[in-house]
Amino acid sequence: MPISAPAIKPKILIVDDQPINVQALHQVFADGYQIFMATRGEQALSVCASKQPDLVLLDVEMPGMDGFEVCERLRADPLTRDIPVIFVTAHRDEASETRGLELGAVDFISKPFNPNIVRARVKTQLTLKAQADLLRSWAYLDGLTGICNRRHFDEQLKAEWERSLREKTPLSVLMLDVDFFKRYNDRYGHQEGDKCLRLVACCIQSSLKRPADMAARYGGEEFVCLLPNTDLEGAMQLAHAVGQSVMDLSIPHSDSLVAPVITISIGACAKPAELTSVVPHAAAQEPTPPSLEDLMRKADGHLYAAKVAGRNKALG
Ligand code: GH3
Ligand code: MG
Ligand code: MG
Ligand code: MG
Ligand code: MG
């Protein structure tokens, strides 16, 4: 399949402390691009995190945080490390160019610049970025269901766990498992089983409400949800809603011992906002999970308890 630049307008962030320079670059990209602007390093970092531009045109000399530091910080943050940076600067010396490239910039353009050359270089980098994004998305998606795969989930879980510790916010996970799925395959065949997994995955995915929420296939007929900024109460509410939505799909399962349709069991676990406090879990009366592994282990334990308690249930 040929890989081409995306049809939507690429997003470019222009960073320069001199508004007149920002203006000059803006004119180069008048049509066909979505332009964001920043005049300080700190501002550039926050725009990158929130707007996720496809490319940054970055000045070097700026009061406060200079362009080199901005570049270094963008590379260090998993949220922004894949955004290509092109320095556009009055510096013409070899040392500056070497430093910029060594910090991870993809190109280095000296002022005064030729607009056609800047446009052409930017276009090349945007095409490369689009190709890289596409490959990354393939590497992160589950082949059968099209939702995120376990690798992506594991990476996001780690990043969100660390963020929740840093920002003292709650974080919840759900583990979801299709009930009596072996019987489903035995009764309806493996192909119908695959179809069922796609429907269930789509249902779980569309039950999520916030952009930061994530659903993934954990393996086989098991799914997981990552719910940043969500406490146990919120997670349980969602779990009950997802369970109901899967039932509402009304996928016939005449050999299930719990209902005549496909159902799921769910285990939930939450890391409270204040991890260090000794507030017990509201429902489970257990101590708070001290590590990411404990969080997953406890969610899995609650899933197992939901199975033992009769299936088609959510426990946390
Ligand atoms: P429980 O309610 O205890 O979860 O029972 P179960 O039958 O769902 O659990 P078990 O672990 O015994 O069986 C899971 C089944 O899921 C067995 C396996 O063949 C099936 N399965 C796993 N991955 C896939 C898949 O990609 N496609 C299909 N069709 N079936 C799958
Ligand atoms: Mg400057
Ligand atoms: Mg299972
Ligand atoms: Mg099993
Ligand atoms: Mg199962």
**Phi, psi (5° rounding) for residue 31?**
-110, 150
pLDDT digits (tens, 9 = 90+) for 84-127: 999 999 999 999 999 999 999 999 999 999 999 999 999 999 99
Range name among 5-9, 153-157, 216-220, 262-266 with the lowest pLDDT average: 5-9
Q: For residue 209, what are the CA distances in angstroms to 32, 204, 227, 246, 312? A: 32, 11, 10, 16, 22
Q: Tell me the pLDDT band of 2, cut-offs 50, 70 and 90.
A: very low
The pair of structure tokens assigned to 80 is 């922004």
The residues with which 57 forms a beta bridge, in sequence order, are: 14, 86
DSSP 8-state symbol, 252: B
Q: Ligand 1, residue 144: give the atom nearest the CA.
A: 26
Tell how far the Cα of 169 is from the centroid of ligand 2, in angstroms: 37
* CA-closest residue to ligand 1 atom 27: 194
Q: Is 142 in the pocket of ligand 1 (CB under 6 A)?
A: no
Q: For residue 200, what are the CA distances in angstroms to 19, 57, 142, 263? A: 51, 43, 14, 9
Q: Is 11 in the pocket of ligand 1 (CB under 6 A)?
A: no
Which numbered ligand comes closest to the C-alpha of 70? 2
> How high is the ipTM of this complex?
0.95
Rg (CA), the chain: 24
Please spell the DSSP secondary structure of 186-246, one letter per residue.
HHH-HHHHHHHHHHHHHHHHHH--STT-EEEEEETTEEEEEEET--HHHHHHHHHHHHHHH
Mean pLDDT of 10-27: 96
Q: Tell me the pLDDT band of 4, cut-offs 50, 70 and 90.
A: very low
The residues with which 15 forms a beta bridge, in sequence order, are: 38, 58
Tell how far the Cα of 221 is from the centroid of ligand 4, in angstroms: 8
Reported pTM: 0.72
* CA-closest residue to ligand 1 atom 13: 182
HSE of 174, CA atoms in CB hemisphere, 13 A: 35
Query: Is residue 16 predicted with pLDDT exceeding 50?
Result: yes
CB 58 within 8 A of CB 88: yes
Is 221 catalytic? The answer is: yes
Q: Ligand 1, residue 311: give the atom nearest the CA.
A: 2
* CA-closest residue to ligand 1 atom 31: 220
* CA-closest residue to ligand 1 atom 2: 179
Amino acid 94: pLDDT: 97
From the candidates 42, 192, 221, 274, give the one annotated as an active-site residue: 221
Amino acid 3: pLDDT: 43
Amino acid 274: pLDDT: 82
Query: Is residue 133 predicted with pLDDT exceeding 60?
Result: yes
